[in-house]
Amino acid sequence: MVNAVRSAPERPFLVAVPPAVAVAALLFYTASNAHGVRLATLAGIYALLVIGYQFVFGRLGALSLAQGAFFGLGAFVTARLGLADLPFLITFPAAIALPALVAALVVGPVLRLQSYYVPLVTLGLAQMLFIAALSSGDIAGVPTIMFLPGLELPRGPAFAIFVWVLAIVGALIAWSLSATHFGRFAEVVRDNPVAAGAVGLDAGRMRLQGFVLSAAYGGGAGALHAHLTGVVSPADFSLPVMIMCLAMATVGGRRHVTGGIVGVVLLNLAVEAAGLSPLYQPIFYGLMVLIALYWLPDGVLGLLERRFAPLSVVVSPAPQAIPARKAARIAGPLLAVRGITRRFGGVIAVDNVSLALHPGEILGMIGPNGSGKTTLLNALSGLSPAQTGRIFLSGRDITNLAPHEVARVGLARSFQTAQLADRLSALDNVAAARAALNGLDFGAIVQRARAETAFARARAEAMACLDIVNLVAAAATPASQLVPADRRRLEIARALALDPLVVAFDEPAAGLDADERDALAALLKQLAARGLGLIVVEHEVAFLRGIATRLACMDAGRLIAIGPPEIVMADPKVAAAYLGAGAVGGGRIK
Amino acid sequence: MEPLQLIVDAFALGGVYVLVALGFVLVLNGIGAVNLAHGDLVTLGGFIAIAAASWVPMWPGIVFLPIIALVMAVVGALLAAITPMRRRSDTPEEMSLATFAVGVMLAAALTGLYGTTPISGPPLVGNGQIGLFGAAISRQSVVIILTAVILVPAVHLLLNHTQFGRRLRAAGQDPELARALGIDTRRMAAATFALGTMLAGIAGLLLADRFTISPTFGLDLLVKSYVAVAIAGWGQVGAAAGVALAIALFETAVSTVAAPAIADAVVYVVLLVLLAFQPQGMFGPAAQRRA
């Protein structure tokens, strides 16, 4: 069978040709321009700035607003150390290292949080650095605008070439990273943070890595800018640099490394040709951002990609079985839940729940809406951790693990509405989970072949998982184009890719027709027969009756009955809960 | 300055911050994304007051309040129309990015028109003073506090006790469900933007009257209301207003002994520490972002 599978996030055509054309246009323009060399140098500096910014903004989809401040910090460090007569070989690394350090120490811990804090924390950092730059003159007795003393770097064309060599090296590093695990993982993190957790990816850590890298690039660009202009002022920290960077990134193409180069050249030439004064440039750049968001959401490169470089076609890999988990399985239950409680404000969504799950068992969870079933699954999978009580997976305490850690140690889950990376193919949604188990490999930047082999194997193993859920034919289809029943199955394949001990399903049969339900029931039984423990939250009691070895009923956060299906169904408490004679349901979070 | 006057001024600044934060958190809940133009909309309101006062210099500033409210509501509706909310696929990041671009454009345009030197707007009710417990208190500050004291409960009533308010909140909390119930979520988002921008504009008028205003203040005001929302707990309307007031009081207290920038730095550090250890904020999140 031949499937069209995207082999890499970017094709060589798109990586090389558009930026080459853009740079040729720049050279053509600058050759005929009085201060052309300066213009070309500036473009190279901004290219470095924007390529760095793409790590966090384009690849990971986090709206950082500190890139301008890192640029300013790099310039500031260069000026300060330059005034102390330190050589370029010391000032330049320092100008790269300090912003990276600030990014890691100040903002890093917070980036693990929800992405809506990213603009706040980065904007606050930018504001603090701006104020510090403004007031540093008064404090240290140094003028806020510093003219650099004699520059050891040559000026003119030699400096322009030096800057562009750095920009191209920077682009190559960025491209290598995006073409290996980092790029594929980043797609999952950007598309759907919940899915990232479910495949075992630490989105916060990746955001931190991307952020530190972007700060380093920004600092380097700022240093070069200080060398070019010989002037550093607090204005270098302020918003105009940030909005310029955003405009260049969005116009060129957020999702492409070389989009930065194309955007930089296009906008630089436009500003130059129009002779816009610096005062009004932010208005132009802001307008460009809006226009790009409206009509070119993936920028010029996104447009070119759709036009000229359709998805590359490769033969789908032959399925390769997943090697068995090496972890020693201890005697006793696979999953032991001991008295866990989860509150939301005054509402007790899960109230002192205890249960055990054994290998090969299918535990059906029933209960009225809002009785806490989904909250229980969220507590098990680390999405909203239990506040009291403990959870043990094969003897290991997983109570306080983050979602990606829970996924890695062997508790996988599916969601009420499937949480998938919609832009990725079905195959890569699963392969990401396989690859994530092996961790991120930064050595891959220099050893591309090793990384490629590893990812190819992850894909082959992912094919085996797709085979189990009978989804091989859809391997190349983007997840967004799958019908709901197939999205469910894809989630199951992804769970299997984690080689789990326990899989928790949240209403897997909802919205399926009779045939699809039968297929799902058969699949769940097959998984249980392999020795997995399954928890299946489901409204359809009829569906559960056919497969569950035991039933558990929740009401108002409490587990009111657990045991063989016929006994639980005959329990008057269960009937009361469903007929509303019992307590009114507690908090419901989905 | 007299201690009592200082305290009244602190609460006047607090009233302004509360209005700014209120507008910010309204839009946040209404569209599920951060409006990064909010601070610049505050300064826009202030500069509209200054422009209006230069046309009719005899009028007291309070006359401009309904005019600015109206103009800014229209601006807000326009803003809603140009931020890319029309496609369901737009992420909160993209919406925030659009508002950031608008904010930067506003700030740059105002800088082009007025420069960056802080200036004052028209006095609200004349520059007189009133006696209170034997101390002379600026009438401006008292009027600002009164305005905030009237507007905050009014917004609360609108959101919680009117059909419009319920629709507005429903559209923000679960757009898909709201659409299924026949609520025009795009219109509701525009209404939220109009309301939030109106509050921003009024805050700008008040700020320009008693204090000063400059196009560069927008970012600072944005960060403050953003911080208030994060400390209060994402989407908590009442708590955000309370924290905004606390920030104003703290800022005034610090500025009597040290540079105002120190207060900003302390607030930012408090935010970082809080986010690192208590990421839900002090009062927990009210709005859950859709996964």
pLDDT tens for each residue of A466-501: 988 888 888 888 888 898 888 988 999 999 888 899
Write out the two tokens for A89.
Answer: 């070989």
Say if B223 is an interface residue toward chain A (CB within 8 Å): yes
Quick check: B75 pLDDT over 60?
A: yes
| Interface probe, candidates A106, A129, A191, A239, chain B, greatest B C-beta count within 10 A | A239
- Position of tokens 């809603």? B80
Inter-chain contact B104–A286, Cβ cutoff 8 Å? yes
Give residue A398's identity as a one-letter amino acid code: I
Question: For tokens 């890695």, what's the residue?
Answer: A408
Choose the closest CB to A128 out of B111, B265, B289. B265
pLDDT at A8 over 60: no
CA-based nearest distance A391→chain B, Å: 23
Q: Quickly state the pLDDT bin for B291 (edges 50, 70, 90).
A: very low
Q: How far apart are CA A102 and CA A88, in angstroms?
A: 21
* Interval A67-88 mean pLDDT: 88
In this predicted model, what pLDDT tens digit does every residue of A197-225 receive, in sequence order?
888 888 888 888 889 999 999 999 999 99
DSSP 3-state assignment of A222? helix
**CB contact set of B190 (below 8 Å; sequence gap of 6+):** B76, B77, B80, B81
Give the mean pLDDT of chain A: 82
Contact A345, A518 (CB under 8 A): no
- Judged by a CB distance cut-off of 8 A, whether residue B86 touches chain A is no
Q: Does any CB of chain A come closer than 8 Å to the CB of residue B259?
A: yes
pLDDT higher than threshold 70 for residue B10: yes
Strand ranges, E, within A305-414: 314-315, 335-344, 347-357, 362-366, 388-393, 396-397, 411-413
Q: What is the CA radius of gyration of chain A?
A: 28
Question: What are the distances in angstroms from CA B78 to CA A466, B23, B83, B85, B192?
Answer: 48, 16, 9, 12, 12
Q: Does residue B85 register a pLDDT over 60?
A: no
* CA pair distance A468, A118, nearest whole angstrom: 39
- Is the confidence at residue A328, as pLDDT, over 60? no
> Hey, are the CB atoms on A246 and B101 less than 8 Å from each other?
yes
* Model confidence band, residue A446 (pLDDT cutoffs 50, 70, 90): low
Task: Average the pLDDT over each of A120-129, A243-252, B278-287 and give the range with the smallest value.
Answer: B278-287
Best of B91, B268, B270 to disrupt the A interface (most A CBs within 10 Å) is: B268
Q: Of B51, B94, B141, B150, whose CA–CA distance to A255 is shortest?
A: B94
DSSP conformation class of A321 = P
Q: How far apart are the first and last CA of chain A?
A: 40
Of the listed ranges A102-111, A366-375, B216-225, the one predicted with least confidence: A102-111
Instruction: Tell me which of B100, B177, B224 to substitute to probe the interface with A (most A C-beta atoms closer than 10 Å).
Output: B100
Say whether pTM exceeds 0.90.
no
**Cβ <8 Å between B227 and A124:** yes
Q: How far, in Å, CA of A389 to CA of B57, rounded?
A: 69
- Residue B130's DSSP bridge partners are B137
Residues of B in contact with A109 (CB under 8 A): 272, 275-276
Name the residue among A127, A280, A290 with its Cβ closest to that of B219.
Answer: A127
Assembly ipTM: 0.89
pLDDT at B84: 57
Smallest CA–CA distance, residue B25 to chain A, in Å, is 13
Of A62, A113, A282, the CB nearest to B279: A113
